[in-house]
């Protein structure tokens, strides 16, 4: 027996998304269910076949051929039930032979991306888009999605089904997606990709490797978007740069026990400098032209953090400036919070504190427990231990998971320690 | 050298469809198994679909595979080994065991 060749990491996962998207282009969104089933079956067949014979030279072509055959077979069996498919079957051979020459090579087509544009229709809720994108385009299993997004299996299933039902209802087709629709939706696509990234990046409990895969999937989609969408390159490049800069800190933002490590305590030598390099290239492209998006400004901020060797050397002057622009152009509760915190670092904790208390209560409610942590930290820096501890307590009560609680506990202990020392007790 | 049939039994209702990532993991496991026991595996066998018909002695036909307790026949392989002990050693490393399946090991009578 030959040395079995190894498949690249995530081969099946990525191929799954590709198969589904290509078949959906040919056979229509209304057949999505049966298409996904056929892709799954093709992989089961590969499992039996390849384990015995070894992996073929063109595994993706093999999978595509097999999945198309399974699908055509199922549609033929079904045709008496759904007369629409009778006409479809006539063009099936054409479809499969057309694809086999062309799209089965390693060259990945833009179909997965087009499927993402379809699901970013304004009537599909964002959380459904994310779950659908992970399942159907990313090839994640339902339970993997559930454990990466910290939701139940049933909930994940519900979100995916919601998107599929809506897609069927809308009746839009990949093949008919024109550049006008794509231009209309590119903003929604980008923000869906960014939210998907944030879902994976937010350090909460859950399987760390899966969360990283979710981030990588967002980065993969952004790369695809740059490759296939010939417009708004600058903004998409800014988004890619931003995600790369964040992802460079992926390994250092939690310690070996899985506890959150704050930016100021992270070992900067452990940041992924390859990702940072690539992000720099992306930022170069992002600055060509006149586009200014929130991704531009956010990546500039992330870059300010990356470029200095230690937290103490952070250029708060610049960061406050960037947050000011962000707050003016793209306001939001998180922006207000970060703007207040960075002012506290530039102008001292008293100024930070008044900026924090100036955030309106409506926005504040969306920021807990982070607002409470920031308040506590400002008081700690002012030496007002009792107030700091009171806010840590609030934060702890509002924390949504044990990792957050643990982080807050550690901060609370640290401020107690220094507080006692300051009071001379 | 005797021949043994490895009969794979799965749960009737599997927890969920394996994800593509899990499938890639299985593929790697099967690859390793074939690699390790390649000379001993006479026939890699096949998997069985969860559909079926049961034909009884009286000629009565019913739908569905024959299900005993909670398991049903999911696939098979044929291996050669000196004795049951060796066949068990081979079966123990089969991916089926690693994903919670059960393997029945039966020696061929050798009538043909």
The 3-state secondary structure of chain A, one letter per residue: CCCCCCCCCCHHHHHHHHHHHHHHHHHCHHHHHHHHHHHHHHHHHHHHHHHHHCCCCCHHHHHHHHHHHHHHHHHHHHCCCCCHHHHHHHCHHHHHHHHHHHCCCCCCCCHHHHHHHHHCCCCCCHHHHHHHHHHHHCCCCHHHHHHHHCCCHHHHHHHHHHHHHHHHHHCCCHHHCCHHHHHHHHHHHHHHHHHHHHHHHCCCCCCHHHHHHHHHHHHHHHHHHHHHCCCCHHHHHHHHHHHHHHHCCCHHHECCCCCECCHHHCCHHHCCHHHHHHHHHHHHHHCCCCCCCHHHHHHHHHHHHHHCCCHHHCCHHHHHHHHHHHHHHCCCHHHHHHHHHHHHHHHCHHHHHHHHHCCCHHHHCCCCCHHHHHHHHHHHHHCCHHHHHHHHHHHHHHCCCHHHHHHHHHHHHHHHHHHHHHHCC
pLDDT of residue A66: 95
Going by pLDDT thresholds of 50, 70 and 90, the confidence category of residue A108 is: low
Q: Nearest-CA distance from B103 to chain A in Å?
A: 17
For residue A15, give the chain B residue with the closest CA: B20
What is the average pLDDT value for chain B, to the nearest integer? 89
pLDDT > 70? residue B108: yes
Largest CA distance in chain B: 46
For residue B31, give the chain A residue with the closest CA: A51
Determine the structural domain holding residue B82 and report its residue range. Answer: 2-13+21-107
Contact B26 A16 (CB under 8 A): no
pTM of structure = 0.80
Q: Nearest-CA distance from A93 to chain B in Å?
A: 26
Report how far apart, in Å, the C-alpha atoms of B41 and of each of A119, A283, B30 are.
47, 55, 12
Q: Nearest-CA distance from B57 to chain A in Å?
A: 31
Chain B neighbors of A152, CB-CB under 8 A: none
pLDDT of residue A95: 43
Model confidence over B58-97: pLDDT tens digits?
999 988 888 877 888 989 999 999 999 999 999 999 999 8
pLDDT > 80? residue A420: no
Model confidence over B9-33: pLDDT tens digits?
988 776 668 889 989 999 999 988 9
| Average pLDDT, integer, range A385-390 | 90
Shortest CB distance from A47 goes to which of B16, B30, B33? B30
Other Cβ atoms closer than 10 A to A180? 8
Going by pLDDT thresholds of 50, 70 and 90, the confidence category of residue A78 is: confident
Shortest CB distance from A12 goes to which of B17, B20, B30? B20
| Average pLDDT, integer, range A253-278 | 84
Sign of the alpha-carbon dihedral angle for A167, A170, A171, A175? negative
pLDDT of residue B3: 95
Q: Is B96 a member of any domain?
A: yes
Q: What is the CATH number of the domain that holds B99?
A: 3.30.70.1060
| Average pLDDT, integer, range A320-343 | 93
Q: Is B59 a member of any domain?
A: yes
Number of domains composing chain B: 1
Q: Which residue has the higher pLDDT, A256 or A317?
A: A317
pLDDT of residue A415: 65
Going by pLDDT thresholds of 50, 70 and 90, the confidence category of residue A5 is: low
Q: Which of A47, A63, A67 to mutate to test the interface with B (most CBs of B within 10 A)?
A: A47
pLDDT > 60? residue A1: no
Q: Nearest-CA distance from B21 to chain A in Å?
A: 6
Contact A142 B19 (CB under 8 A): yes
Going by pLDDT thresholds of 50, 70 and 90, the confidence category of residue A65 is: very high
Which of A44-58, A83-97, A185-199, A344-358 has the weakest average pLDDT?
A: A83-97
Q: Which residue has the higher pLDDT, A320 or B100?
A: A320
pLDDT of residue A203: 57
Q: Is B82 a member of any domain?
A: yes
Chain A neighbors of B34, CB-CB under 8 A: 1, 4, 51-52
What 3-state class would DSSP assign to B1? coil
Model confidence over A185-224: pLDDT tens digits?
999 999 999 999 988 887 555 567 888 889 999 999 999 9
Chain A neighbors of B75, CB-CB under 8 A: 48
Q: Which of B18, B21, B35, B98 to mutate to test the interface with A (most CBs of A within 10 A)?
A: B21
Shortest CB distance from A142 goes to which of B16, B44, B75? B16
| Average pLDDT, integer, range A325-339 | 91
Contact A7 B24 (CB under 8 A): yes
Going by pLDDT thresholds of 50, 70 and 90, the confidence category of residue A88 is: very low
Model confidence over A110-167: pLDDT tens digits?
889 999 999 999 999 999 999 999 999 999 999 888 888 878 899 999 999 999 999 9
A247 preceded by a cis bond (ω within 30 of 0): no
pLDDT of residue A222: 95
What is the average pLDDT value for chain A, to the nearest integer? 85
pLDDT of residue A81: 61
Chain B neighbors of A15, CB-CB under 8 A: 20
Q: Is B112 a member of any domain?
A: no
Closest C-alpha among A97, A61, A91 to residue A75: A91
pLDDT > 90? residue A176: no
Q: Is B93 a member of any domain?
A: yes
Residues paired with B8 in a beta bridge:
B75, B103
Chain B neighbors of A52, CB-CB under 8 A: 30, 34, 44
Going by pLDDT thresholds of 50, 70 and 90, the confidence category of residue A250 is: confident
pLDDT of residue A251: 82
C-alpha span between A63 and A50 (Å, rounded): 11
Residues of chain A whose C-beta is under 8 A from some C-beta in B? 1, 4, 6-7, 10-13, 15-16, 40, 43-44, 46-48, 50-52, 54, 139-144, 153
Q: Nearest-CA distance from A294 to chain B in Å?
A: 34
Q: Please tell me which of A109-113, A263-267, A359-363, A375-379 the model is most confident about, judged by mean pLDDT.
A: A375-379
Contact A140 B19 (CB under 8 A): yes
Q: Nearest-CA distance from B92 to chain A in Å?
A: 17
Shortest CB distance from A47 goes to which of B16, B17, B27? B27
Which of A115-124, A161-170, A362-371, B37-46 has the weakest average pLDDT?
A: A362-371
Whether the predicted interface score ipTM is above 0.90: no
Q: Nearest-CA distance from A317 to chain B in Å?
A: 46
pLDDT > 90? residue A345: yes
pLDDT of residue A82: 56
pLDDT of residue A316: 94
Contact A141 B35 (CB under 8 A): no
pLDDT of residue A205: 56
Shortest CB distance from B23 goes to which of A47, A140, A144? A47
């Amino acid at each position: 027996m030959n040395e079995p060749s190894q498949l690249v990491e995530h081969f099946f996962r990525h191929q799954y998304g590709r198969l589904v998207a290509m078949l959906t282009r040919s056979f229509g969104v209304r057949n999505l269910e049966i298409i996904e089933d056929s892709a799954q079956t093709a992989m089961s067949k590969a499992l039996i076949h390849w384990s015995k014979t070894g992996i073929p030279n063109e595994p993706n072509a093999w999978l595509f051929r097999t999945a198309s055959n399974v699908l055509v077979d199922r549609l033929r069996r079904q045709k008496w039930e759904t007369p629409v498919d009778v006409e479809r079957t006539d063009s099936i051979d054409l479809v499969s032979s057309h694809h086999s020459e062309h799209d089965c090579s390693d060259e990945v087509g833009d179909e997965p991306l087009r499927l993402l544009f379809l699901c970013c229709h304004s009537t599909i809720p964002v959380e459904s888009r994310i779950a659908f994108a992970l399942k159907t385009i990313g090839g994640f299993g339902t339970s993997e999605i559930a454990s990466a997004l910290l939701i139940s299996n049933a909930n994940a299933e519900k979100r995916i089904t919601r998107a599929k039902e809506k897609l069927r209802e809308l009746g839009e087709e990949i093949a008919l997606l024109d550049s006008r629709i794509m231009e209309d939706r590119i903003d929604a696509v980008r923000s869906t990709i960014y939210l998907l990234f944030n879902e994976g990046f937010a350090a909460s409990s859950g399987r760390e490797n899966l969360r990283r895969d979710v981030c990588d999937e967002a980065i993969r989609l952004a790369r695809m978007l740059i490759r296939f969408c010939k417009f708004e390159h600058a903004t998409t490049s800014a988004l890619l740069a931003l995600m790369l800069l964040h992802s460079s800190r992926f390994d250092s933002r939690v310690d070996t026990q899985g506890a959150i490590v704050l930016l100021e305590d992270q070992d900067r030598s452990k940041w992924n400098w390859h990702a940072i390099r690539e992000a720099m290239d992306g930022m170069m492209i992002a600055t060509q032209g006149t586009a200014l998006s929130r991704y531009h400004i956010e990546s500039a901020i992330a870059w300010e953090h990356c470029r200095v060797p230690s937290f103490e050397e952070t250029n708060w002057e610049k960061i406050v400036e960037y947050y000011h622009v962000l707050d003016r152009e793209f306001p939001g509760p998180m922006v207000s919070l970060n703007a207040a915190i960075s002012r506290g670092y530039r102008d001292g904790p008293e100024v930070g504190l008044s900026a924090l208390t100036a955030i309106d209560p409506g926005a504040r409610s969306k920021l807990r427990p982070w607002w409470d942590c920031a308040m506590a930290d400002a008081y700690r820096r002012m030496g007002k231990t009792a107030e700091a501890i009171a806010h840590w307590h609030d934060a702890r009560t509002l924390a949504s998971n044990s990792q957050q609680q643990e982080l807050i506990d550690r901060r609370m202990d640290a401020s107690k320690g220094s507080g006692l020392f300051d009071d001379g007790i | 050298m005797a021949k043994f049939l490895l009969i794979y039994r799965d749960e009737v209702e599997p927890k969920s469809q394996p994800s593509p990532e899990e499938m890639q993991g299985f593929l790697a496991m099967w690859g390793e198994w074939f690699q390790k026991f390649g000379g001993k595996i006479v026939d890699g066998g096949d998997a069985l679909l969860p559909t079926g018909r049961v034909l009884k002695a009286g000629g009565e036909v019913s739908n569905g595979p024959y299900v005993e307790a909670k398991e049903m026949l999911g696939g098979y392989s044929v291996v050669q080994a000196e004795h049951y002990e060796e066949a068990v050693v081979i079966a123990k490393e089969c991916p089926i065991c690693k994903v919670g399946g059960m393997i029945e090991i039966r020696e061929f009578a050798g009538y043909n």
